[in-house]
Chains A and B, each alone.
Chain A
Amino acid sequence: MKKSSLFFLASITAFTLTSCSGGEKTEEVENTDTVKVEDPKTNPVSETFFQVPSPGEMLTFIKMVGGAKNQKTDFLNPVSNNKNYTDAKSKALNFGIYSCDLSYCSIFNIGSESLKYFGTVKTLGDQIGVSTAINPAILKRLQDNVGSSDSLAVITDDVYFSSFEALEESKQGPTLALVVAGGWLESIFIAVNLAKYEANSPVIERLADQKYTLENLIEFLKKHEADANVAAVKTDFDSLLAEFNKISEKDAETAKVKDGSKSAMLNGGKQLVITEDVYKAIVAKIKTVRNSYTLTK
C-alpha cells in the first residue's frame, strides 16, 4: 500500500510538473533554404504547438464543391458498433470517428441520422470523460434544428470543440490525441468514399493537401507517444504518411488579390500533384487503417 501510494504520488507530481511547463518544447527541423532565421539570443525558449483543422472543415469543403445533395450513409461507422468498443483506445478513436460522422450527417442535413449519432457520441463521451461537453441542452438544440443543415453544422462543431477543450483542460492529452486522430481519419475516409479521381479536381487536391495536416497530426501524436495506444496509432499514421510522401510537388503560381480586397496574398509554396496510382494507394491505406479502428471490414 505504501509503495503504491508513493508511486501514485510520484506519477501525479511528474504529471503536474510536466503540465506546468506549458507544453513540450520542440525544435523545428525543417530549416532549409532559410530566408530569415530567428536569433536564439532574443528568443531563448520556443514552444511549438501543432494544430489540426477540424473534420467539419473538410466535409464543408466537399459539400461546397458539389456534393450538397448527397445523402449516402452506408460507409459511416454504424451506431450498432458502439458496443464493440470496450478498451480505452477504441473508445477514444471511435469517439472521434462518430463525432465526424455526426458532423457529416449535420452538414449534409441527414437529420434523423444526426440524432442517432449524437446518442452514440454522448454514450462514448461519457465513458472517456467529456460528459460535461455533451449535455442535454445540446441535444435539445439539435432536435430543434433538424432540417437546418447550417444550424446543425454549428451545433455539431460546438460538440467537437467543447469535447476538445474538456480533454485539454483536464489534461487528458493521450485521449485527446486519439480523438483528434479518429476524427481526422474519418473525415478523409468519408471524402474518399464520396470522391472519384479526376486530375485537377478540387476535392482530390484537398485530399492531397491532407499530407500537411497529417504531418501536423503526427507531430501532435509524438507529444503523447509515451502512451502505448498513441504510439500504436502513430505507427499507423507514419505508414499512411509514407503513401502521401509519394505525391509530387511543383512550384505554385503567383497571383494578386482582387482589387478592393482587405486580404494580403501569400505567394510561394508548393502545389501537390497526385497521380491516380498514388491516389489509389492512399485510399487503400486509409480504408485499411480506418476499418481496423472501427473493427469493420
Chain B
Amino acid sequence: MKYIVTILFTAIISFSAFSQAGVCGQFHKKYCILEKEKGTKWLYNAQSKSGLFNQGMVSKLRCVIYKGMDYRVSVCCETVLGDKVSYKIYDARTNEMLFDNSTADNTQIFEFQSISTRQLIIEVVVPQGATEKDKHKSENAACVGLLIENKVTDKQGFSQY
C-alpha cells in the first residue's frame, strides 16, 4: 500500500512540475508580434524568452547584442494591463539606463541598434491585474513574453558590413 501511495505521490508531483513548465513556454511566439511573419527581414533571435512570474515582481534577462545589427524588442503579458508592461534596458556592465518605456508612451516595442557589441539587461516588471484562468497556475501569476528579433543594419556610407 505504501509503495502504491509513493508511486502516486511521485507521479502527481512530476506531473505538476511538467505542467508548470509548459504553461508559458512559447508565450512570446504566440502573443508577441513576430515581424518575421509579416515577410520583413527581421529574424527570430534565440535569446527571446517566456516565463511564468508572480505579479509585481521584477525579471531580468541578460542578452548579447552585436554592432552592425538592428534589434527589435517586444514585450507582452497576459494580464489585462498587458499593454502597460513596464520595462527598462540597461548596459549590463555599467548599469547605465539606456531606455525606459515609461518615457516613451509605454511602448511595448523598441527598435534600436548599438554602436558597440555589448551585454544588455532587459528588466521587466510584471503588472498586477487579472490573468487568464488556467488550471496550471495561480491567479496572481502571469505569463510574460520577451521577443527579440534582429536584422542586418541597412548599409550606409562605406560601412564594412
**Pair B154/A258 contact, Cβ less than 8 Å:** yes
List B residues 52-68 near A (Cβ within 8 Å). 52-54, 57-64, 66-68
Q: Tell me the bound Cα distance from A206 to B66 in angstroms.
A: 8
Question: Is A80 close to B, CB under 8 A?
Answer: no
Closest to B47 in A: A51
Q: Tell me the bound Cα distance from A3 to B32 in angstroms.
A: 48
- Say yes or no: A262-B111 contact (C-beta < 8 A), given A30-B95, A47-B59: yes
Our pick among B93, B112, B117 for the contact of A272 (Cβ within 8 Å) is B117
A165 to chain B, nearest CB (A): 6
Which of A107-115, A119-127, A167-175, A224-232 binds B? A167-175
Closest to B95 in A: A34
Q: How many residues of B contact A (CB 8 A)?
A: 65
Question: Is A136 close to B, CB under 8 A?
Answer: no
Question: Is B106 close to A, CB under 8 A?
Answer: no
B117 to chain A, nearest CB (A): 4
Closest to B114 in A: A266
**Pair B95/A165 contact, Cβ less than 8 Å:** no
Which of A9-17, A85-93, A238-246, A280-288 binds B? A9-17
Question: Is A148 close to B, CB under 8 A?
Answer: no
User: A84 to chain B: which residues have CB within 8 Å?
Assistant: none
Closest to B22 in A: A169
Question: Is A296 close to B, CB under 8 A?
Answer: no
Q: Tell me the bound Cα distance from A36 to B99 in angstroms.
A: 11
Question: Is A219 close to B, CB under 8 A?
Answer: yes
B147 to chain A, nearest CB (A): 12
**Pair A202/B161 contact, Cβ less than 8 Å:** yes
User: A49 to chain B: which residues have CB within 8 Å?
Assistant: 49, 51, 59-62
**Pair B21/A171 contact, Cβ less than 8 Å:** yes
Question: Is A194 close to B, CB under 8 A?
Answer: no
Instruction: Count contacts between A and B, CB distance < 8 Å.
Output: 198
Question: Is B96 close to A, CB under 8 A?
Answer: yes
Closest to A250 in B: B116
Contact with A along B76-99 (1 / 0, CB 8 A): 000000000000001111111111
Question: Is B20 close to A, CB under 8 A?
Answer: yes
**Pair B21/A169 contact, Cβ less than 8 Å:** yes
Which of A37-45, A70-78, A139-147 binds B? A37-45
Q: Tell me the bound Cα distance from A30 to B123 in angstroms.
A: 15
User: Which residues on A are within 8 Å of B, measured CB to CB?
Assistant: 5, 8-9, 12-13, 15-16, 19-20, 22-23, 28, 30-38, 43-54, 56-57, 61, 64-65, 157, 160-161, 164-165, 168-171, 200, 202, 205-206, 209, 212-213, 215-216, 219, 252-255, 257-258, 261-272
Given contacts A33-B94, A44-B58, A49-B62, 17 further A-B contacts (CB under 8 A): A15-B17, A22-B53, A33-B95, A47-B57, A51-B47, A57-B150, A161-B44, A164-B46, A165-B26, A171-B18, A202-B68, A209-B64, A253-B115, A264-B113, A265-B115, A268-B115, A270-B93
17 CB contacts below 8 A, A to B, read A28-B121, A36-B90, A47-B60, A49-B62, A51-B63, A64-B152, A171-B17, A209-B66, A219-B62, A253-B115, A258-B156, A263-B153, A265-B115, A266-B98, A266-B113, A268-B115, A269-B117
9 nearest interchain CB pairs? A269-B116, A51-B47, A54-B46, A252-B116, A209-B117, A35-B96, A43-B58, A269-B118, A266-B114
